Copies of this chain bind each other. A is one copy, B any other.
């Protein structure tokens, strides 16, 4: 068993469920980002510019579909791909849409300017955590 989207369904239903789940720009971005390397929620928050709750909701959808998995590391919870093959599906769609094959990975490297997560700022003062930097960035 490779993918566990929706077992015990017709093939077209299984496939369409996958498409319905990744048929949302934010979720494609999330998959591209954490496909590049595991990321915490605050990293996604900084990169995508969305509210934390919204991202958590999308992550919940991806979790229930067994596309991503969560793992706590210190204060943060890092998400990673369960099945990297999902990127091949997205990449195939990117090619179909006339994009260069590298356009997908470019999604993962966009506006990481003021990202506060400990992965982006390894030796940073722990006082300056995600929320601190996020609020100071918007001020």
Contact = CB atoms under 8 A, between A and B. Distances in A.
Contact of A83 (B11, B17, B83, B96): B96
A98 B19 CA distance: 15
Interface residues of A, number: 42
B83 A89 contact: no
A131 interface: no
A96 B11 contact: no
Nearest to A32: B12
A23 B18 CA distance: 7
Contacts of A96: 2-3, 18, 83, 85-86, 88-89
A12 B93 contact: no
